[in-house]
Structure 1
């Protein structure tokens, strides 16, 4: 499986979630964007894991973003992903405008947050941000044939 980076685009009402060591986190209504990397041996199959967790909600949370994926108030609207072997998720997070949710999803880096807030749907802007860091993104909207877009037959981790 190819490696890369991705951005999950969630729509949500106002909500408060307990997120691991971060404790209670208040989320404003609108859109929250999570920027992640899929550079390990499973590559972009990590995105398939996120998509499945969002629809089935059948596993215990492992990462901060899992709290959003497991909560029915957070609707996964889109995934924007690109193939790369470089650690560009912090550059991508920096290229996307929006308010940061402090410390969310950034425990393995120094950029402060991989979760951003926007009041309106930012999917087109997220795709454009991939271009600003030299990547050609694939955009998968809710309801798209995700299995074909993310290489069918790859075993999820």
Structure 2
């Protein structure tokens, strides 16, 4: 049985404009970006393993908004944070992080404004603190 929970992907990019599926062309500010996702489905954290694999191989057709970043030469996946839970806490986590965002990114199945946020500086400490605020033990893995 796959473990389930919520996760954050932390990206770095020099600034670019990319086509993001139904969102169209999106301008991304240079710096750091946080994507908040759910791994509560049947596949559990296998979804995160797919994201990491896609960031390295970059050869699959994008399926979700975040896949367009994972397959882009401009976005580097720097780290991944995972917290085991059976509760739907991804929207609460997105709310805790908040800030400058891409409207509609990664939140087509909820009422949030976005699940994708920009930072000027490395947000890893902030992400870890947000998981701790939810009382979720967090596992972090550096990718780059």
TM-score between the two structures when normalised by the length of structure 1: 0.89
How many Å separate the matches in 2 of 1:50 and 1:137?
18
Q: 5+ residue gaps in structure 1?
A: 144-157
Deviations 1:13-50 (A, max 9, x none): 11001111111100000001100000111101110000
Superposed, 1:121-136 pairs within 5 Å as 121-136=122-137
The residue that corresponds to 1:7 in the other structure is 8
**Structure 1 residues 74-121: Cα deviation after superposition (integer angstroms, max 9, x where no partner):** 000000111001110000011114312100010000011000000110
- Alignment coverage as a number of residue pairs: 143
2:76 corresponds to? 75
In the other structure, the counterpart of 2:20 is 19
| 1:110-129 correspondence to structure 2 within 5 Å | 110-129=111-130
* Stretches of 4+ aligned residues off by more than 4 angstroms: none
1:96 & 1:105 partners in 2: Cα distance? 14
Instruction: Report the counterpart of residue 54 of structure 2 in structure 1.
Output: 53
User: What is the DSSP-based 3-state SS (H/G/I as helix, E as strand, rest coil) of the residue aligned with 1:139?
Assistant: strand
- Distance in 2, matches of 1:13 and 1:115, equals 16
Tell me which residue corresponds to 1:31: 32
Give 1:150's aligned residue.
none
